[in-house]
């Protein structure tokens, strides 16, 4: 790697030069199975023909004009997102962090319209919302906040999954204006919201006139077996939703959606983005949604999830070191009883791409287009790597 790159990543010792579907090839021509999807980004896999065609055609037609003018594909994508989500308005950005920044600004606007001068947003422990200054402050991970103090003020933290903790905060603070929550905490250990939790937050937001803001950056666009993670609780609709990752299949795009009292909070001059929502990224986003709809990939994600989970349950049956399989849809966490970061490198040696989060949770985020055979291969490769590692660790302990 170039010595001129800033040292912001602990990169694995491999460089990929080509991809197709759920497979990648490195500089030496070695093939890998991708069970990470660029961290929940390439839901349609690599080099998808429809996406490639859309990029090439739009690049030859029009890439950028700015938001001073109308953008045809931006309007089309906004309409499509509203149709599948039930939300009413959309602001386009370039990333998930920017989408969450927009959500935070909406909460601040909402507060000041109510004459609340020092508004507070309730956020969750072990959450992740981004690395900009505001989203870093909203994130529930002290390790990544260290060194960037003083953090942006205005956030109160409560345990994830604990409705009573939210109620206690409501009794203590009359300047709370919003709750920001992930339907599944990806970086926080692939922890899915308990049944009824999001509905309970919706009820508390209605009771106290707060905004319910749902971070769907990782959970959105079919990954959980629904278009959006909040849709696992029937009839629920948030006031604000943030998207990114899978919406662009690798092309940088984010979106902040509003409904109800949040739909019309922004006025001209309140917010903006030079690149956000340009013709290229919005055409790609629209194509992503069309392909998922055409190929029924939302239901396919649910089917793949069950196949992979049942396979892993069989492989790890009787292994006391494997504590739990958790998550939702194609967000799968294999929880071990010990730190397991070295498994990322060991899996790479077996030509399998995985991730470890929260120290001891193997995170799998395979593409929605993975075949049954590839799903079975994923289970076998991961099982072989983990079981061999556990055996080696057991031997070392005995010695």
Catalytic residues: 128, 215, 245
Cα–Cα distance, 389 to 340 (Å, whole number): 9
Residues in the chain: 399
Both tokens of 259, joined, read 């409904």
Instruction: For residue 214, list its beta bridge partners.
Output: 181, 241
Strands (E), the chain: 16-20, 23-26, 31-34, 89-93, 120-124, 155-158, 176-181, 184-185, 191-192, 211-215, 240-243, 254-258, 322-328, 331-336, 352-353, 355-357, 361-364
Residues 6+ apart with CB under 8 A from 155: 120, 121, 122, 123, 137, 138
Unique residue bearing structure tokens 């205005």: 154
The Cβ of residue 159 has, within 10 Å, a number of other Cβ atoms equal to 12
Pick the closest to residue 309 from 364, 356, 351, 355 (CA basis). 364
Question: Residue 306 in contact with residue 379, Cβ under 8 Å?
Answer: no
Both tokens of 195, joined, read 């049944």
Cα–Cα distance, 368 to 372 (Å, whole number): 11
């Amino acid at each position: 790697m170039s010595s001129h790159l800033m040292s912001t990543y602990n990169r694995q010792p491999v460089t990929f030069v080509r991809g197709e579907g759920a497979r990648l090839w490195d500089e030496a021509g070695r093939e890998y199975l991708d069970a990470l999807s660029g961290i929940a980004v390439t839901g349609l896999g690599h080099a998808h023909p429809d996406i490639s065609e859309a990029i090439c055609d739009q690049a030859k037609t029009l890439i950028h004009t700015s938001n001073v003018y109308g953008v045809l594909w931006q309007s089309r994508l906004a309409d499509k997102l509203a149709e599948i989500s039930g939300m009413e308005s959309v602001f386009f950005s370039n990333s998930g962090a920017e989408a969450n920044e927009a959500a935070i600004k909406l909460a601040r606007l909402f507060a000041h319209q109510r004459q609340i001068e020092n508004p507070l947003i309730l956020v969750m422990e072990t959450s992740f919302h981004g690395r900009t200054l505001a989203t870093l402050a909203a994130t529930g991970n002290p390790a990544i906040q260290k060194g960037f103090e003083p953090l942006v003020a205005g956030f109160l933290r409560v345990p994830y999954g604990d409705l009573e903790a939210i109620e206690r905060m409501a009794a203590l603070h009359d300047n709370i204006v919003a709750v920001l929550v992930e339907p599944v905490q990806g970086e926080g250990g692939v922890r899915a919201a308990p049944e009824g939790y999001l509905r309970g937050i919706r009820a508390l937001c209605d009771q106290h006139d707060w905004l319910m803001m749902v971070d769907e950056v990782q959970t959105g666009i079919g990954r959980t077996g629904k278009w959006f993670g909040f849709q696992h609780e029937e009839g629920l609709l948030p006031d604000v939703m943030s998207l990114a990752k899978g919406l662009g299949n690798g092309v940088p795009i984010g979106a902040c959606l509003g409904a109800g009292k949040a739909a019309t909070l922004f006025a001209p001059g309140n917010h903006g983005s030079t690149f956000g929502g340009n013709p290229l990224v919005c055409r790609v986003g629209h194509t992503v949604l069309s392909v998922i709809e055409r190929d029924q990939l939302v239901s396919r994600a649910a089917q793949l999830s069950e196949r992979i989970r049942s396979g892993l349950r069989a492989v790890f049956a009787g292994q006391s070191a494997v504590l739990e399989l958790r998550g939702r849809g194609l967000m799968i966490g294999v929880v071990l009883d010990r730190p397991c970061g070295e498994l990322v490198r060991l899996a790479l040696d077996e030509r399998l791409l995985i991730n470890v989060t929260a120290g001891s949770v193997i995170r799998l985020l395979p593409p929605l287009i993975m075949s049954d055979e590839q799903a079975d291969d994923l289970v076998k490769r991961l099982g072989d790597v983990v079981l061999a590692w556990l055996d080696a660790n057991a031997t070392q302990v005995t010695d």
